[in-house]
Structure formats: C-alpha cells, structure tokens
Chain A
Amino acid sequence: MALEPQEQSGSGDEGLEAYSPAVRRRAKKPSAAKEAAPAEAAAPPAPRTERGGGEPFAGLRVSLMPSELEGRTGPDMGRGLMILGLVLVVETIIAGALYFMTARATDARIAKRDELQTKVDDLDKQVAAQETLAKEAAAYNGQVAAAKEALDKHLFWSRFFAALESKTHPTIKYLNFSGDSDSGIVTLDALGKSYLDVAQQIVAFKEYPLVSDVRTTSAAAKISEKGEVTGVSFTLVLKFKPEVWQLKPEDRKAAMSGPSAVSGVTAPPADCGIYKGVVSPYFTSEKPEQMDAASLKTAACINDRFKTCAASTALSSFVKGDVTVTRALELRGPVEGGCQARIRYGDPSAPELDGKDMTCVFDPQQTLASNMFTAENEGIDQVHCAGPLADALKAARAPQ
C-alpha cells in the first residue's frame, strides 16, 4: 500500500519521508548519492533549520497522492459535488428572487385590478345617475324630431275653406259638407238657382288646379207649385290635392304664430294701453292736439302692430253724448285672408250690445280704423265677423 511505511527504521525525518512522496523524492537523491558516496551518507545530517544562517527551511510538504498515481490528475469528486451544490444554491437564490418579484408583480396586479374594479363601479354609478338625466334630454330630442315631422304635414282647413269659398259660385249654397283630408275627397250637397249655375260651379272646380277630380252624382230641380224652377240641388264629389290643406313653411309660421284660444299655451299679446278718442273709438290720431300723450302712444302702437298683425291688445274709450263707449280690441294674428281681430263692445246705452264680442278677419290693405268701422257697420260681412256681437249688430240693423 502506498500509505504503508516502507521503512520503519531511521531518524524521525525518515519516517516522515515514508509518508511523503515529496519528501521521498528528495530523499531518493540522497540515497542514490549514498550509494555513490557512502561517506557522505554516513555523515551526520546537517541541521534542518538554522535561523540566521545556512539554507532556509522550505516548510513541510505533504502529498497524499499515491505513488502509482504520481504525474496523473483524475476527476475531483468533491470539487464536482461542491460545484453542483453551488449551482443549485445559486439557482435557488435566483429562483427565489424571481419568485419574489413575480409574487410582488402579481400582488401589484391584483391591487391594480381591485383599483380598476372600483373605478368601473364608480363609473357605472355615474352612468346610472347621468342616464336618468339624459333620458329627459333624449326625450326632448325625440319630441323635437316628432314635432318637426308633424309640422311638416300639418293641415290647414282654414286654407281649404278659403279655397273652397273662392271657387264657389255666388248663387250656390252648401247644405251638407263632408271632407276627409287623408283621401282628399270632399262631398258637398249643394243648392243652385239653376242648372246653369250648377254647370258653372262644376266647371269652376274642374278648372281649379288643386282639384284633381270632380264628380256630380245627381242633380234635381226644385219646382214650385207654379211650375217654376226655384232651385237645383246637386251633390258634388271632389277630390282635392293634398296641397290645398298645406302651407309653405314660411306661410305656416305666420299662420300659426297667432295666439291660441287655449290659455297659457302661447305668449300673451303685447298690451298697447288705453286710448281716449276725440273723434272716434277707432285708434286714430286725428286732432292730436286734443289727445293726451298716452292715447297717441297707444294709437301708434296698435296701428303699428296691425301692419304686421302682431298679437296685441288695446282699449279705446270715446265719449258719445252722455255715455262713454269702449272697444276692447285684440289682434290675434294672421289667418287666411287677413288679420284675425276680436272686438268686445262696451256701451251702457245699448244693453243688447254691451259686453258682447265678435271675431273678424280684418283686411290688411285697409287701415285699422277703417276695418273697425266696417265691422261695426254695413260691411260686417266683408270682414267676416262672427260671434254674439256680430249677431246683435246684424239684428239691430235688420229692418223691423
């Protein structure tokens, strides 16, 4: 065995040599030299160390390498295991660090997710609150669109009747009327004075561009006991074009801008004030030197507004003998054929007229005073007055 001492004899150094190849290597040379020079071998060995003199001591060299392996280096098992251990330790450290970082990233992502979820919840709450408010806005938009659509197809029977009247022969009277704006079909039971009148009426409608079809289903003469033709009754079936019920947008605005009879729906008319007439109650500015400033202002206001038929009111008073008569005038807005006006009469001396009112259509080509005068006198039908006052005025003028 390499570790077994080859020699048990000798000095202490020899014994060490047996366990140390290095020592043995150095020792071999002296033993070879011993063969060559026994004298030298017999000589006492020089002292090993001498501090301060001779060859310095190089230290103890011990080699565990077996002699048969001398000069060859084999794999180091321990070192390899140590490297393996180190690699695993380093990997464990790296894996731990990465795992720690990943765990932190995960936690951060979870926190971020919770934060975003909170934000989503908050936004949802805000949306719910805003949606409640926005519903009203959305409904408003829908109402506007629906109103526009309805107005584009708005029907004006006042225009229709104006057209019908304008094309009606003066001797023709309508007994029954039935009209449908959807189909455009209007059925009229009418009475004329003669067949000629009936024929002229039919031709008038046929020539009217807004009538697309005219049919007469029957015509019959009414004969008196004396055998004379007193009238001809007939039935007309007319088909009107839709345009007869419709207005152009610009005309539509004017036609609908007047006040409605429904209170609170439209803006109140402008109040021009009180007028104290000197010559008449008709808002004239005659003899201005005798009028007060307020009356002049009222006259100017109501006459000015009549020019555009802007909704407005004014009250006039006029001393007639011992009585003060009043006229409450309301301009209600444009209608087919003129400006709609309402007059309320105040005359304590005429109980049949006092407090009554009528509605007329004033001619915009005439002055306001002229229209009022016409309405209260012979021309009451010219300005299409209707209402209790109109009836009372007509009755008052009727021959007894």
Chain B
Amino acid sequence: MESIAKMLPIITGLAAVGFAVAAYVMLFLPKLGRLVKGGELDLTAYEDRINETQGYLDGLKSTVAAFNKVNPERRARVQNMVPVTADAPGLYVQIDAIARAHDMVLVSVDALPDDKPPTATGRQGVRVTIDVAGGTYQQMKLFLTDLERSERILDVQDVVFTPSSASYGLVLHAYYFDAEKVLHPELQLVVPTGEAPPTP
C-alpha cells in the first residue's frame, strides 16, 4: 500500500498524460483532421474555385458589356462581311442581284465550303463557281467591280470568258467564321475593342 501511495504522483502524471493523449486521439484528432489543410473541411479549394470562377465571370461580363457597346450597324456589317455560317443561299441571292444589276443572267451557281481547315483566325472558305451570261465586256467588268465591293467579302479566283460569246465562268471565294468549330470547347474571350470594323 505504501509503495502504491508513493507511486501515486507518478501514476497521477501518467494518468493525466494518458488521458490527454487518449482524448486527443479519440476526440480531437478525427475532428481536427477534417479541419486542417487538405482535410475534408479545408475550404481553400472552395475559395480558390470561387476566386477563379469570379474572375472568369468578370471577364465574361466585361466581354458582353463591351460587345453590347458595339454599334449594332457595325455588328450587322461584320456579320454581312463574314457570317458565322457558309450561307450558300445568301450567296445565290447576292450574286444574282449583282448580275441582274448589270443586265446579266446568273446561269448557274455552286457553293461548297472548303475541306481545308480554317485559318488561325477561324476564317473558312466557300468555293463558289458561277456561270454568267449576257452583257458586254464593260458590263462584265462592272459586274466584277460589284463583286469586289460586295459587303460579303468575295474574292474572284478564276475568270474564263470569250468576249464574243458573252459567257463568263468565274470561281469565287467567300468566307465565313466557323464559330461552332473554332469556339469549341472554350470561348476565346477577347474583349471587343470598340474599334471600327475592318475597313477595306
């Protein structure tokens, strides 16, 4: 009994330490493990994600705001110059209108998007083959001039004609911006500068 009594302070100390360790291991460690960095309840990842998403959202908002400031007429003009689809029917109508304006007849037209991949800027070509009849050489030149100044950008690649036959064969290139292909899967967010659209 006396020896036990003599050991009591040590036993007390050990019991205190043991109790503390047991409490830490059994009670606190599971809780603290969730709270510390990398734990289940570490919110750093959430905060980082929020900051990142917020930055992206701000970028989107500024892009949209800048776009909304662009003059609608300017937007329409750009849309006419390089639409977001090949718009072959639109090409038929425009070329026919130009031909009619010069008393020429659009005999045939064929518009096929290029198989080649788009350029770095996303410009995709449409190959347009047309046959035009009627009109003099002067009218054909005026017809070509109107093709050049058409708001839908048209580049004449080949011209074949026999002046005496009043028959003209042309190969043109129109362009479109393949938004689905170029902008997928992520948006290329560039804030519109508000500058004037590209001028000839």
A residues lining the B interface (CB < 8 Å) = 74-77, 80-81, 83-84, 87-88, 91-92, 95, 98-99, 102-103, 105-106, 109-110, 112-113, 116-117, 119-120, 123-124, 126-127, 130-131, 133-151, 153-158, 161, 174-182, 252-253, 255-263, 265-266, 333, 335-336, 340, 359, 384-388, 390-391
Given A116-B43, A144-B78, the answer on whether A158 and B1 have CB atoms closer than 8 Å is no
Q: Considering the chains assembled together, what is the distance between the CA atoms of A45 and B175 in angstroms?
A: 137
Q: Considering the chains assembled together, what is the distance between the CA atoms of A149 and B56 in angstroms?
A: 29
Q: Considering the chains assembled together, what is the distance between the CA atoms of A154 and B148 in angstroms?
A: 8
Given A119-B50, A140-B192, A261-B102, the answer on whether A75 and B5 have CB atoms closer than 8 Å is yes
Q: Mark B102-129, 1 if CB is under 8 A from A, else 0.
A: 1100000000000000010111000000
Q: Considering the chains assembled together, what is the distance between the CA atoms of A234 and B124 in angstroms?
A: 40
B175 to chain A, nearest CB (A): 5
Q: In residues 146-200 of chain B, which contact A (Cβ within 8 Å)?
A: 146-153, 155-164, 175-177, 179, 182-183, 187-190, 192, 197-200
Query: Is A256 in contact with B159, judged by CB distance below 8 angstroms?
Result: no
Query: Is A176 in contact with B192, judged by CB distance below 8 angstroms?
Result: no
B1 to chain A, nearest CB (A): 7
Query: Is B200 in contact with A151, judged by CB distance below 8 angstroms?
Result: yes
What are the residues of chain A within 8 A of B187 when measuring CB–CB? 131, 134-135, 138
- Nearest 3 A/B pairs, CB to CB: A80-B8, A386-B138, A256-B200
The 8 Å CB contact of B12, one of A83, A110, A127, is: A83
Total interface residues on B, CB under 8 Å, equals 97
Query: Is A255 in contact with B200, judged by CB distance below 8 angstroms?
Result: yes
Q: Mark B46-70, 1 if CB is under 8 A from A, else 0.
A: 1101100110110011011011001
Instruction: Identify 8 residue pairs between A and B in the complex whose beta-carbon atoms are under 8 Å apart, listed by A's number.
Output: A83-B9, A84-B8, A102-B28, A109-B41, A138-B63, A177-B159, A359-B102, A387-B139
Interface SS, A side? helix
The 8 Å CB contact of B56, one of A76, A127, A139, A256, is: A127
What are the residues of chain B within 8 A of A123 when measuring CB–CB? 50, 53-54, 57
Query: Is B78 in contact with A154, judged by CB distance below 8 angstroms?
Result: no
Query: Is B20 in contact with A95, judged by CB distance below 8 angstroms?
Result: yes
CB closest residue in chain B, given A90:
B16
Query: Is B161 in contact with A141, judged by CB distance below 8 angstroms?
Result: no
Given A155-B148, A156-B148, A175-B164, the answer on whether A135 and B175 have CB atoms closer than 8 Å is no
The 8 Å CB contact of B43, one of A109, A158, A384, A387, is: A109
Given A142-B121, A262-B97, A386-B142, the answer on whether A176 and B162 have CB atoms closer than 8 Å is yes
What are the residues of chain B within 8 A of A103 when measuring CB–CB? 31
Interface SS, B side? helix
The 8 Å CB contact of B151, one of A88, A140, A262, is: A262
Given A150-B175, A181-B156, A252-B200, the answer on whether A262 and B98 have CB atoms closer than 8 Å is yes
What are the residues of chain A within 8 A of B49 when measuring CB–CB? 120
The 8 Å CB contact of A385, one of B34, B50, B138, B199, is: B138
Q: Considering the chains assembled together, what is the distance between the CA atoms of A253 and B196 in angstroms?
A: 13
The 8 Å CB contact of B190, one of A136, A138, A155, A266, is: A138
Query: Is B41 in contact with A130, judged by CB distance below 8 angstroms?
Result: no
Given A123-B50, A260-B146, the answer on whether A142 and B182 have CB atoms closer than 8 Å is yes
Q: Considering the chains assembled together, what is the distance between the CA atoms of A252 and B189 in angstroms?
A: 30
B67 to chain A, nearest CB (A): 3
The 8 Å CB contact of A109, one of B35, B64, B139, is: B35
Query: Is A265 in contact with B142, judged by CB distance below 8 angstroms?
Result: no
The 8 Å CB contact of A91, one of B23, B56, B189, B200, is: B23
CB closest residue in chain A, given B23:
A95
A383 to chain B, nearest CB (A): 10
What are the residues of chain B within 8 A of A258 when measuring CB–CB? 149
Given A150-B175, A158-B148, A177-B160, the answer on whether A263 and B97 have CB atoms closer than 8 Å is yes
Query: Is A340 in contact with B142, judged by CB distance below 8 angstroms?
Result: yes
B37 in the interface (beta carbon within 8 A) = no
B82 in the interface (beta carbon within 8 A) = yes
Query: Is B150 in contact with A179, judged by CB distance below 8 angstroms?
Result: no
Q: Considering the chains assembled together, what is the distance between the CA atoms of A258 and B8 in angstroms?
A: 108
What are the residues of chain A within 8 A of B88 when measuring CB–CB? none
Q: Considering the chains assembled together, what is the distance between the CA atoms of A182 and B150 in angstroms?
A: 20
What are the residues of chain B within 8 A of A127 when measuring CB–CB? 53, 56-57, 60
Given A158-B141, A262-B150, the answer on whether A146 and B177 have CB atoms closer than 8 Å is yes
Query: Is A256 in contact with B149, judged by CB distance below 8 angstroms?
Result: yes
Q: Considering the chains assembled together, what is the distance between the CA atoms of A340 and B13 in angstroms?
A: 108
What are the residues of chain A within 8 A of B50 when measuring CB–CB? 116, 119-120, 123
Beyond A113-B46, A177-B162, 18 additional contacts (C-beta under 8 Å) are A80-B9, A83-B9, A87-B15, A99-B28, A106-B31, A138-B183, A138-B187, A140-B78, A143-B81, A155-B155, A157-B148, A181-B156, A181-B158, A182-B157, A261-B98, A262-B146, A262-B152, A386-B136
